[in-house]
Amino acid sequence: MKYFRFDVLLIFIMISLLNGPVTSLGEEDLERAEEVAFRQAAAKISSSVVRIQVIGGRDRVGKIITGNASTTGVIMSEDGYIVSSAFNFISKPSAILIELFDGRRFPAKRVGTDYLKMLTLLKIEADKLPVIKQSEKISYEVGQWAISVGKSYQSDFPNISVGIISAVNRISGKAIQTDAKISPVNYGGALLNIKGEVLGILVPLATDSSDETAGVEWYDSGIGFAIPFHDVSASVEKLQKETDLYRGYLGIQFQKKAALGSPANIATVRGNSPAKKSGLKAGDRILEIDGQPVHRVGEATRQLENYYAGEQISLVVERGDKKETKKVSMTLVKKLVPFEGGFLGILPARESNYPEEKTGVGIRYIFAESPAEKAGLKPGDRILKLEEIEFEESSDLLELITRMPAGKNVKLTFERNSKIEEVEIVLSSISTELPNQISPLIIPPAEEEENQIGENEGEENNNENSEKKKMGHFRFDVKEHAHRCWAYVPEDYNPEYSYGLMVWLHPSDLTMESSILEDWKGICDRRGLIILSPLMANKKGWSASEDKFVEEVTRDFLKKYNIDLNRVVIHCFDDSAPFAYYTLFKNRDLFHGGLFTNAPLKKPVGENNDENRLQFYLSGQKPTGNQSPLKKTFQFFKASKYPIRFDTYDSKEGEYPSSEMLKKYEVWFDTLDRL
């Protein structure tokens, strides 16, 4: 077929536009002119577009049926380098065949994949191939013609779809968006302008996911993406070194609900990440990324998501009220390893608030097979220094160890029988084993004048001083939230000693007040625990908005009673689980453990970090197979490097555990301050 020259066609259209409305051409003439232009554009690169056939591999990836349908690629060099969409090879095929414009077929090998831009580079043994050539960076803008070109069928001419460019700088600035229909068979093909110039390579992408199948569900919907061709060329140059390219991770997070126009303030810094090692801190504000000014969180996010693992990046951040600036550099990684805090293997002595001029931390118990036992430490020893850092309380030592990763070698200074000794210890992961026997810590009764119970048990006492001393089982109102609560404080509560706090979140339609009190009263008295039970407003279930009420009433109890912050735990049962997980992870500075009974996790939660240590005990009714929700919950937390124990118990469906399980709960609760 003979085609019009582009310059003649464009001049013809321009003259028509100047001399009158386009309709003066006549509908048939206009349609014919458009058709000629589209076909001419596709014909210009037709010989550089190849047909790809994959053989073997997985039949399904996630919910996507892969099959062996033909797909598309584009020739990038005369000696046989071909670029295509990474999606075309997610089935991990055993063989790849390339069919050229002239019908010749060649086996291809995968050279490398760019997992940031979702491109794959192939190589065939051929030469003098027709290459897509782009002499300069082509400009593009919203509203101009866009033609998608693929070659999935055995035809001399490529298959095309026509639309416009509907957006630019999409998917963190990586892609051009078009409304031209793009089917999976066209992934790896080219997006052209009306002159036949290559704008980009077609790939599936999504705004909220980087999975290998992300964006495929949008095919032929009018939402398609192409990686700009100059970026493709840069990627191919790197992939030719026969290496895969991965997105680089820094290890920071911004506030999840921060508006894109908000300042780029860092909310969290992940432990054991490049950001952590470089000295970045939560609260720092990013001002520059590699010399480029950053004014908003959207700008920072867009820039940071376009770096590869192994690349070095420099940031200028603003820190503190004095707004001091600091420049840091780091090398990005392809995967952020979950942080796993260190463990010595001891239980600290829980001394009164007024120890007899003692420094350091006494040892109450040594865990079997722990680093402390292997190093020869014994109950009664007193730890004075860790890495030459002195401390006065176990919470100070715990903070030091929590920020040190498992596997770190540390020097520990301790006192035994008035003699100072030193030992080298390699920290391990936090043990989830429960001691076979651990005696309760004896807390002496308080002085008589301190041990006064508020009058009228069960009624609200407006005298703040007497309410602080309220003990036993009592109920009270929280007027500002229109809620009620009940609590139990051991009758012999001694304010000179720290207690654990269990915040009980009851299931719907049942507060379980009497049964929980019956089951836990003896444990509280033996182990120095306090129960706080906020009651839901609607018996049908907890509302997410009630987390503020639970948080505030818990913080109020921390003010009124002497509570060890490392032993503040949420306990839930059955359908209160979603609210319990939500509340715990939203208030990680407040809660440091979760006792979840017959309560699987339904949505992903925050990752482990070195800022707020969390420990979990998950239990459920037998049988519990590997694919059960409870087992999957356990596997998720374990893979995320959270210290978690998992047990099953015998009981009727919907029943709270028996006394045998409660004995394990008791010991677990008494070891939450382990170091």
Residue 378 shares a structural domain with residue 510 = no
In a domain, 77, yes or no: yes
Q: Report d(CA 453, CA 473) in Å as an integer.
A: 10
Identify which has the larger pLDDT, 124 or 242. 124
Percentage, residues of the chain above pLDDT 70: 86
Average pLDDT estimate for 101-115: 93
pLDDT at 120: 94
Identify which has the larger pLDDT, 78 or 537. 78
Question: What stretch of H or E contains 19?
Answer: helix 6-19
Number of domains the chain contains: 4
Q: Which of 286, 304, 331 is the last residue of a domain?
A: 331
Q: Which of 297, 331, 365 is the last residue of a domain?
A: 331
In a domain, 535, yes or no: yes
pLDDT band at 210 (very low <50, low <70, confident <90, very high): low
* Backbone phi, psi, residue 163, to 5°: -160, -150
Least confident among 49-63, 95-109, 324-338, 545-559:
49-63
Average pLDDT estimate for 111-126: 94
pLDDT band at 258 (very low <50, low <70, confident <90, very high): low
pLDDT at 455: 38
Residue 142 shares a structural domain with residue 120 = yes
Contact 93, 55 (CB under 8 A): yes
pLDDT band at 490 (very low <50, low <70, confident <90, very high): very high
Q: Report d(CA 574, CA 596) in Å as an integer.
A: 8
In a domain, 59, yes or no: yes
Residue among 251, 249, 228, 252 nearest 308 (CA) = 249
In a domain, 431, yes or no: no
* Backbone phi, psi, residue 367, to 5°: -75, 140
Residue 410 shares a structural domain with residue 480 = no
Question: Interhelix angle for 659-669 vs 513-527, to 10°?
Answer: 50
In a domain, 321, yes or no: yes
Residue 360 shares a structural domain with residue 326 = no
Average pLDDT estimate for 312-317: 94
Alpha carbon 565 to chain centroid, angstroms: 26
Residue 121 shares a structural domain with residue 75 = yes
Residue 221 shares a structural domain with residue 260 = no
Residue 607 has pLDDT above 90, yes or no: no
The 3-state DSSP class for residue 275 equals: helix
Q: How many helices (H) and strands (E) does the chain have?
A: 14, 34
pLDDT at 489: 94
Residue 310 shares a structural domain with residue 166 = no
Residue 482 shares a structural domain with residue 560 = yes
Residue 95 shares a structural domain with residue 220 = yes
Residue 612 has pLDDT above 90, yes or no: no
pLDDT band at 174 (very low <50, low <70, confident <90, very high): confident
* Backbone phi, psi, residue 378, to 5°: -135, 155
Average pLDDT estimate for 286-314: 91
pLDDT at 447: 73
pLDDT band at 514 (very low <50, low <70, confident <90, very high): very high
pLDDT at 29: 72
Share the mean pLDDT of the chain. Answer: 84
Average pLDDT estimate for 356-381: 86
Residue 329 has pLDDT above 90, yes or no: yes
In a domain, 197, yes or no: yes
E strand map for 117-265: 119-123, 145-150, 159-169, 175-178, 190-192, 198-203, 224-228, 252-254
pLDDT at 553: 92
Q: Which of 401, 426, 451 is the last residue of a domain?
A: 426
Least confident among 174-178, 412-416, 432-436, 513-517:
432-436
Q: Report d(CA 586, CA 542) in Å as an integer.
A: 15
Residue 81 shares a structural domain with residue 210 = yes
Alpha carbon 321 to chain centroid, angstroms: 29
In a domain, 432, yes or no: no
Residue 507 shares a structural domain with residue 639 = yes
Question: What stretch of H or E contains 647?
Answer: strand 644-649
In a domain, 7, yes or no: no
Alpha carbon 130 to chain centroid, angstroms: 45
Residues whose CB is less than 8 angstroms from the CB of residue 76 and which lie 6 or more positions away in sequence, other chains included = 82, 83, 121, 131, 132, 233, 236
Residues whose CB is less than 8 angstroms from the CB of residue 455 and which lie 6 or more positions away in sequence, other chains included = 461, 466
Give the domain range for residue 351.
346-426
Residue 422 shares a structural domain with residue 570 = no
Average pLDDT estimate for 416-443: 86
Contact 209, 203 (CB under 8 A): no
CATH number of the domain to which 186 belongs: 2.40.10.120
Contact 454, 470 (CB under 8 A): yes
Average pLDDT estimate for 71-100: 91
CATH number of the domain to which 566 belongs: 3.40.50.1820
Alpha carbon 247 to chain centroid, angstroms: 15
pLDDT at 130: 93
Average pLDDT estimate for 553-573: 92
Least confident among 200-209, 557-566, 634-643:
200-209
212-221 pLDDT, tens digit per residue, is 666 666 676 7
Q: Report d(CA 315, CA 291) in Å as an integer.
A: 8
* Residue 317 half-sphere exposure toward CB, CA atoms < 13 A: 24
Average pLDDT estimate for 605-623: 82
pLDDT at 234: 92
